[in-house]
Structure 1
Amino acid sequence: MVEGVRQDEIWDAEAAERYDTPGAGVFAPEVVAPMVTRLAELAGGGRALEFAIGTGRVAIPLAERGVPVTGIELSEPMLDRLRAKAAIPVVAGDMATTRVEGRFSLVYLVYNTIGNLLTQDEQVECFRNAARHLEPGGRFVIELGVPELRRLPPGQDALVFGTGDGALGVDTYDTVRQHLVSHHFTFGSGREARLSRCPQRYVWPAELDLMGRLAGFEPESRHADWTGGEFTAESRSHVSVYRLPPAEGARSRAE
């Protein structure tokens, strides 16, 4: 594993530039559009807070849809790129403890980013931080991959997760600590390759539900993707929605 490496060291200026690919990869319209549509629906006309807002991949088009968006981001290089593109209010800090003024109808955390918190306690605190920012009845949305341990043969601790022109991705697993490291190799025609690594703590869907309950949430829905596809045993990722109970007066009227 990559010991003693801080997330703000991983997401440096070079990583921010590599990540920010407008119109391509995870920034492609066919990837972003269904996500923004679903988040706008869940915001219900209220304000949204994005944990780990990054360079604005989701926040900028969501704001363009008329949803007031605020963000929290740990990486200064990511923030610099976001601020060069849009005037979205952002607070610098980590998503488990940093506070933003006001209340929101929606908090969201996408693209496996809760895994950047490397302990279960930190991940639970992330849920609690979401709850602190939400209005009664507000929602917390997480997009997360399903751990692929079924693909690991006995005695093996590595899986290839991606190959391409000049690129190779390998995940190595520590199944005792529920950790993995994503190794991204890039190379050209020469003999040398460039390596970047990102440590994560993987989370099972049921464990995520328990974290939600510890923070006062009720599970509302789980789908395989942003378009509402059915979540099954074969799904490789999920979009899970958690909701705080409504205010007592609103609950009484609903009943």
Structure 2
Amino acid sequence: MPPALPQDPPPEAAYAARFAFRYDDWFAPAGGTDTTVAFLVSLAKAAPPGPLLELGIGTGRIALPLAGHGLAVHGIDSSPQMVAQLREKPGGREIPVTIGDFAAPPVDDEPGGYAVVYVANGTFGELITQADQLACFTNAARRLQPGGLFVLDAHLPEALATVSSGTQPVNNSSQDFVLRTRSIHPAQQRYVSDYVVLDDDRLRHVRVTFRYASPGELDLMAAAAGLQLRHRAGGWSGAPFKDSSSYHVSVYELPA
């Protein structure tokens, strides 16, 4: 019997641990940071006074520019490696970050009374059960002050089914070789993104699983958590949400 070939860790092993130092180049949407930040700055002006909380703060791609606008930003993330990248950036050591599950209830030493709680870049979908997604809504509401806002982005299931499957290159600022294959699994209400990355002359496999939900299901989760829909846009640019939209940004409010 031939000897076993050396293998990478299982593909579900956290991409954030293995490739944290390349995340901004490979996985962050090109040109998406400025529009996301502008959208959140506008929301912060319309919300009650108070700090912002990013669920899945990662490398600080969004949080640091928000802090540059004079906003107090806190974060939660499960990956120490991603947060280490945040800490290495200018201003990154000044942002309070809790290491842990962003869908979990607030802990005793976590500052409360947030004006805006947000989760971006499809990270909400990485909660792959309905129970976990509902818990995220519930615990986001617990972290908000009355009149505060919870914001998330998500693909529309119809768009995932029609235009988002198959294999395509991932454009990235480092010009590295990255291919993504997305497969849809309707029976589980999930989609899987498999990335093939050429890293140090070796092909590596990264898998990220997401649970998708319709806007209507998200609205029901929000209502169960005591939140109500305030606005839905067709993206972080603030474009109108309409039949041709493939993506949405939904803003929920905790009634005063």
CA contact (8 A) 1:179 1:200 kept: yes
Find out whether 1:203 has 2:204 as its counterpart: no
How many angstroms does 1:119 deviate by? 0.4
2:138 aligns with 128
Q: Is residue 11–residue 77 contact of structure 1 (8 Å, CA) maintained in 2?
A: no
What amino acid is aligned across from residue 26 of structure 1 in structure 2? A
Q: Which of 140, 144, 150 is 2:154 aligned to?
A: 144
Structure 1 partner of 2:79: 75
Mapped partners of 1:106, 1:151: distance in 2: 33
Q: Which residue of 1 aligns with 2:34?
A: 33
From 15, 26, 34, give the equivalent of 1:11: 15
8 A contact 1:11–1:75 mirrored in 2: no
Which ranges in structure 2 are unaligned for 5 or more consecutive residues?
1-9
Alignment of 1:157-172 (within 5 A): 159-160=165-166, 162-163=168-169, 166-172=177-183
Deviations 1:28-52, CA, capped at 9 Å, x for gaps:
5x42122112211212342100000
Aligned partner of 2:96: which letter? P
In the TM superposition, structure 1's runs of 4+ consecutive aligned residues that sit over 4 Å from their partners are none
How far has the Cα of 1:101 moved from its partner? Answer: 2.0
Give unmatched runs, 5+ long, in structure 1: 153-157, 247-255
Change (3 A) 1:67 1:161: farther
Corresponding residue of 2:4:
none
1:118 is aligned to 128
| Residue 206 (structure 1) shift | 1.1
1:155 is aligned to: none
Written as runs of structure 1 = structure 2, the 5 A alignment for 1:232-247 is 232-246=242-256
* Identity between Structure 1 and Structure 2 (%): 38
Name the structure 2 match of 1:230.
Answer: 240
Question: Do 1:11 and 1:78's aligned partners in 2 also have CA atoms closer than 8 Å?
Answer: no
Matching residue of 2:103: 96
1:130–1:140 contact (8 Å) kept in structure 2: yes
User: Which string of whole-angstrom CA distances, capped at 9 and with x for unpartnered residues, describes residues 220-255 of structure 1?
Assistant: 111112222111222111111000111xxxxxxxxx
Q: What is the rounded CA distance, in whole Å, between the counterparts of 1:92 and 1:6 in structure 2? A: 22
TM-score relative to the length of structure 1:
0.83
Superposition deviation, residue 15 in structure 1: 2.0
For residue 219 of structure 1, the aligned residue among 222, 226, 229 is: 229
Contact 1:72 1:98 in 2 (8 A): no
- Taking the aligned partners of 1:12 and 1:112, their CA distance within structure 2 comes to 14
In structure 1, the residue corresponding to 2:165 is in which secondary structure?
strand
Cα contact 1:27–1:57 (8 A) shared by 2: no
Supply the RMSD in Å over aligned alpha carbons: 2.4
Q: How many angstroms does 1:161 deviate by? A: 5.4
Greater CA drift, 49-58 or 161-170? 161-170
How many residue pairs get aligned? The number is: 231
| Post-superposition offset of 1:187 | 4.1
Give the alignment of 1:55-70 within 5 angstroms.
Answer: 55-70=59-74
Distance 2:11 2:50 in 1: 34
